[in-house]
Amino acid sequence: MQASVRKLVFNDKKCCILILKNLTSVFRLKKASKMKQNMHMLTTTVSHELRMPLELVISIYRIMLSHTTDPHFIELIKVVQSSNQILLFRVNDLLDSSTMEKGAFTKNLKVFDLVKSVEEVVQINSQQALFREVSLKVRKINMVPKYMFTDNTRFQQVLMNYLGNGIKFSQGGEIEITVEVDKR
């Protein structure tokens, strides 16, 4: 509550007016704005701080894969690779949501190999699917074009979310991703 006194003259008489204002909504708005700003800073900082070690792990397992022939060791490296890729996708999601809130989000439009992009997402999730005893299958129908022009990162993020949820909520069985051209 804020109070102020105003002096004025009315019909040649001096008067005082007491003005009371309820500032609760103003304080709430300022507090919410500050909390949103702090959350944005935290999100941006955390995602940037996580991305660097994840990128380092990617470099290390690539080196490890090029220096080993042991099938068991290669399989373990692939598990680490898959888990790391999933984490990196999640960190990028976090950073993207923070960027969208600021209104600074931009699309990265480019030509990419559609089927290869889908297969990359399947490969990243293959270890998680194996653990849940779910087989993953990619099926192409209706003369799918080799190349697409769109934001491949966003495309893969959406597909990662769908596939990740499909695996998470399945106990055994099969998940089939069908890539087809809509003839409409």
* 71 and 119 co-located in one domain: no
Residue 138: CATH number of its domain: 3.30.565.10
Give the pLDDT score at 175: 93
Domain membership of residue 85 (yes or no) is yes
Q: Which residue range(s) make up the domain with 140?
A: 107-184
Q: Note the pLDDT tens digit of each residue in 85-126.
A: 777 777 777 777 666 666 666 777 899 898 888 888 888 888
Q: What is the predicted pLDDT for the residue at 150?
A: 86
What confidence score (pLDDT) does residue 61 get? 79
Domain count, the chain: 2
> What CATH number is attached to the domain comprising 47?
1.10.287
181/148 same-domain check: yes
Q: What is the pLDDT of residues 121-138, one digit of tens each?
A: 888 888 888 888 999 998
User: Quick check: is 37 in a domain?
Assistant: yes
Q: What is the pLDDT of residue 33?
A: 72
Question: How buried is residue 150: exposed, middle or buried, by Cβ count under 10 Å (0-12/13-18/19+)?
Answer: middle
**76-85 long-range contacts, Cβ below 8 Å, gap at least 24?**
78/127, 79/127, 82/123, 82/124, 82/125, 82/126, 82/127, 82/128, 83/127, 84/54, 84/57, 84/58, 85/58, 85/124
The reply to whether 150 falls in a domain is yes
Q: Residue 174 has what pLDDT? A: 93
Domain boundary among the residues 104, 119, 137 is at 104
Write down the pLDDT at residue 100: 67
User: Where does a domain end: 60, 75, 104?
Assistant: 104
Last residue of a domain, one of 59, 81, 104: 104
Whether 153 and 89 map to the same domain: the answer is no
Positions in the chain short of pLDDT 70? 1-11, 15-29, 32, 44, 47-48, 97-105, 184
Residue 119 in domain: yes
Residue 23, domain member (yes or no): no
The whole-number pLDDT of residue 12 equals 74
Answer yes or no: is 55 within a domain: yes
